[in-house]
Structure 1
Amino acid sequence: MAQSTQTPPWEAEGAEKREAVRGLFADIAPTYDLANSIMSARGHYRWRAEACRLIGLTDGESVLDLCCGTGDFLVAAKAAVGQKGSVAGLDFCAPMLAIAAQKLAGSADLMLADATELPIASSQFDAVTVGWGLRNVPDIGKTLREAARVLKPGGRFVSVDMSEPKGFFGPVSRWAYHVSVPLLGRILRKPEAYAYLPKSTERFMDRQQLTKEIEAAGFTRVHSTSRFFGNIAIHWGVKA
């Protein structure tokens, strides 16, 4: 039997990566929320809420969440901006977006679209958020520039994503992560899909590199912090 020559999603680039990642998330959509809560010990809820606080979301503001997936960042953003505020979410994976639609029950505008080519006019939002999304897009720089474009002058941006832990706990944390996530994938009967997470994290930018990339896209006052023993990085900044 001939072996498949398809590039693994963590090695794919450009349009090939886009389609590979779209298919991967369509496959895991039904178990995505459960897996997130298990892998993070439910910390992902806290980190999204913290991200909203770091950029100072307040009542009445407008927020766009890129790569919104099943909508948990939209839930956090809506809690921050209240009934007078508005939230919109965008994702290129229809099964993930369908779960978000059920979860938000009409309290968010949802769009099936690509984060590298936003179907949105310029200077529309007070804030743009993205959770665990930059690592998955085919062009990080273009995605960040699009985020800057749709922000109002002085608008804020925040990203929460995976990061390779460093320092004393780095080797132990990396080992535990690279063992536990594939194990969870086997339990959920999605071994190939969950192999993507640690492998894509290995290939992702470190905190300093991502800071420079965000600055290059047109943001200033860019800061970052880490959580979960260095496995999570939060970056935030202001449109220049």
Structure 2
Amino acid sequence: MGLGSYWGEVIEVLRQIIPVYDKVNSYISLGKDIEHRNRGINGRVHPGDSILDAGSGFGNMSKTAESICEGKITITLYDPLVPMLKNTGTLFKTTPDMSCGVFEHIPFRENQFDAVLCGYSLRDAINLKIAISEIHRVLKNGGRFVIVDLGKPDGAIARAGVTFYLRAILPIIAFAVGGRLGLKFATLYGTYKRWPKNSKLEKMLLEKFSRVEFEKDLMGGAIMVAAYK
């Protein structure tokens, strides 16, 4: 499971869509991205926590956690794209620590973070099993791994509905909001095809983590997951 050789193409598209990334993402999530981030993070990140925002993008996950905890957390942003990190650092009152790299080789010591947050990013792992193992490694005992992302429903009818939205409706919305750059969001469907069904993802997490809380929305097309070390 994971993007494998498709990863390079996806990263190049992400590099190109930085100017419209956040705006388009808000629209294609049908305006529910903020709600889903809050649902995923609330009660799982606490004041005093040290957080790794993995695949941070513009840092929306850690900004949400910072707001919930009234700024009383320590944030490290981690993303494969240096231009993304440069833009992101300016969006915080205090510039967080930042590091560049991939899920499969996280450059931090074992048991370092209280929580690892992945907002719409774990789907872009090159090798999902290795990514999950690395995230487990850097979490403290009792740490939380919070995922907010697209879901792939187990039921065939719901899965067909999500697929139709991603292939037929999403490109129209993305173009309307982001113009020609919005058309590049069509690669999102390629990442979805390589993404495991919800039950399979839960099973993969349980291979490493002691407990998993799995919430769904939009017919299972959106997931908010917390895995506990």
TM over 0.5: yes
What does the per-residue CA deviation read over 1:125-148, in whole Å, with 9 as the maximum and x for residues that have no partner?
111110111211101111111111
Pairwise CA distance, 1:81: 3.1
- 1:104 alignment partner, one of 92, 96, 102: 92
Code of the aligned partner of 1:86: T
Q: Is the 8 A contact 1:60 1:83 kept in 2?
A: no
Letter in 1 for 2:39: E
Q: Which runs of 5+ in 2 are unaligned?
A: none
Q: Would the alpha carbon gap of residues 33 and 153 (structure 1) be closer, same or farther in structure 2, given more than 3 Å must change?
A: same
Are positions 1:215 and 2:210 aligned together? no
Which residue is 1:34 aligned to? Answer: 23
Conserved in 2, the CA contact under 8 Å of 1:116 and 1:143? yes
Is the Cα–Cα contact under 8 Å of residues 116 and 135 in structure 2 kept in the other structure? yes
Tell me which amino acid in the other structure corresponds to 1:161.
D
Query: Take 2:88 and 2:130, find their aligned partners in 1: how far apart are those partners?
Result: 25
TM-score relative to the length of structure 2:
0.89
Distance 1:139 1:52 in 2: 24
Cα gap change, 1:209/1:61 in structure 2, threshold over 3 Å: closer, same or farther? same
Could you tell me how far 1:99 is from its partner in structure 2? 2.4
Q: Note the aligned Cα RMSD (angstroms).
A: 2.1
How far apart, CA to CA, are the structure 2 residues paired with 1:206 and 1:12?
15
Task: Verify: 1:236 aligned to 2:226, yes or no.
Answer: yes
- Counterparts of 1:52 and 1:76 in 2: how far apart (Å)? 8
Q: Which residue does the alignment assign to 1:114?
A: 102
Which structure exhibits the higher relative contact order, with contacts defined as CA atoms closer than 8 Å and separated by 6 or more residues?
Answer: 2
Tell me which residue corresponds to 1:49.
38
Q: How does 1:9-24 map to 2 (within 5 A)?
A: 13=4, 16-24=5-13
Structure index of larger Rg: 1
Q: CA deviation at 1:177?
A: 3.3
| Distance in structure 1 (CA, Å) of the matches to 2:221 and 2:144 | 23
Report how many aligned residue pairs link the two structures.
225
Is 1:87–1:107's contact at 8 Å kept on the other side of the alignment?
no
Q: Shift of residue 12 of structure 1?
A: 5.7
Q: What amino acid maps onto 2:31 in structure 1?
A: R
Alignment of 1:61 onto 2:49: yes
After the TM superposition, which of the residue ranges 184-193 and 137-146 deviates more from structure 2? Answer: 184-193
Unaligned runs of 5+ residues in structure 1 are 1-10
**Which secondary structure does the structure 2 equivalent of 1:179 belong to?**
helix
Give the C-alpha shift of residue 45 in structure 1: 1.1
Deviates most, 90-99 or 27-36: 90-99
TM normalised by structure 1 equals 0.85
Contact 1:227/1:233, CA 8 A, preserved across alignment: yes
Instruction: Output one character per residue of 1:182-218: Cα deviation in whole Å (capped at 9) or x when no partner.
Output: 22344420366211112321331011100111122x2
* Cα pair 1:61 1:81 within 8 Å, conserved: no
Identity, in percent, stands at 25
Q: Secondary structure at the match of 2:28?
A: helix
